[in-house]
Amino acid sequence: MDIRLDEVNKRIIHALMEDARTTSAPMIADEVGVSPATIRNRIGQLEDAGVIEGYHAVVDFERGDGRLRNLYLCNAPVEDRERLAHQVRLIPGVINVRELMTGRRNLHVLAVGTDTQDLRRIAREIATLGIDIEDEDLLQTEHFQAYRPFGPDDETPKPLSDYISLTGGAEIIEVTVDEEAPITGLSLERAGREGVLADDVLVIAIERDDAVLTPRGESVIRADDLLTLLSREGVTDEALAAFQTGTAHR
């Protein structure tokens, strides 16, 4: 079944990608300007056409049960890749398999284990299938967001939501904001615009009054806030200058 992704279908996909659990047909209809019945029919058509393949819960296994998520980066012969992908899904603990078209590491296997010994068991079973594991690492966090071009025309990117690789000397640090620090009383958007916040520094968490806040562009930094920072170039005086009175700001 072929289906055209017109503006209504794009907005439906965008809304469901943002939050499929709580987003209802009337909510989407109100935003798009059509009837809820139309939205329900369109969702059914998108599902029948295979455009919407399913809805999945994002689970933090470590928080829920102390389990570990491990990502195995594997090589599989191109001619056998699809068959091996189906076989590796049957291994107990495997929750996701991604096939890449070409090149090395063309099979990504995400698995959940009770402990490192269980993860080694999964690795052995993957290797038994004739799949070469080139690298593996524990998965800490995954971040998802809706596909922005399918959203409203006036939707602007949410600030401070970039994915930053922790390679090449990047460091995560915590710093308490001084009362007379350059950034005190400024929003993050303004601090960035005026050059108070260094270009290579990302505020990834704000702890205030025993609550952890998600930083936004409009978030105003207060004295005594405990900030978690990611510095792409490592901890330098310039990186800390915005948050402390004892460090010269350049």
Residue the block writes with tokens 């990502």: 71
Average pLDDT, stretch 214-242? Answer: 85
Average pLDDT, stretch 31-43? Answer: 89
Write down the pLDDT at residue 80: 93
77 and 126, same domain (yes or no):
yes
pLDDT over 60 at 76, yes or no: yes
Q: How many domains does the chain have?
A: 3
- The one-character DSSP state at 72 is E
| CATH code (residue 88) | 3.30.70.920
pLDDT tens digits along 155-176: 544 333 333 344 456 777 788 8
Structure tokens at 18: 């943002």
106 and 65, same domain (yes or no):
yes
pLDDT over 70 at 235, yes or no: no
Distance CA 168, CA 164 (A): 11
Average pLDDT, stretch 184-199? Answer: 91
186 and 127, same domain (yes or no):
no
Number of Cβ atoms within 10 Å of the Cβ of 141: 6
Structure tokens at 59: 């689970």
Average pLDDT, stretch 75-98? Answer: 94
Distance CA 12, CA 21 (A): 13
| CATH code (residue 24) | 1.10.10.10
In a domain? residue 128: yes
The residues with which 98 forms a beta bridge, in sequence order, are 108
In a domain? residue 250: no
122 and 190, same domain (yes or no):
no
Residue type, 12: I
| CATH code (residue 182) | 3.30.70.1450
**pTM passes above 0.75:** no
Of 50-54, 102-106, 132-136, where does mean pLDDT reach its minimum? 102-106
CB 208 within 8 A of CB 156: no
Distance CA 230, CA 171 (A): 6
In a domain? residue 156: no
In a domain? residue 147: no
Distance CA 90, CA 95 (A): 9
In a domain? residue 149: no
pLDDT over 70 at 90, yes or no: yes
Write down the pLDDT at residue 160: 32
Domain that holds residue 184: 171-240
In a domain? residue 161: no
44 and 67, same domain (yes or no):
no
- Give Cα separations from 167 to 49, 70, 120 (angstroms): 41, 18, 25
User: Among residues 247, 249, 231, which one has the least CA distance to residue 195?
Assistant: 249
In a domain? residue 54: no
In a domain? residue 91: yes
pLDDT band at 236 (very low <50, low <70, confident <90, very high): confident
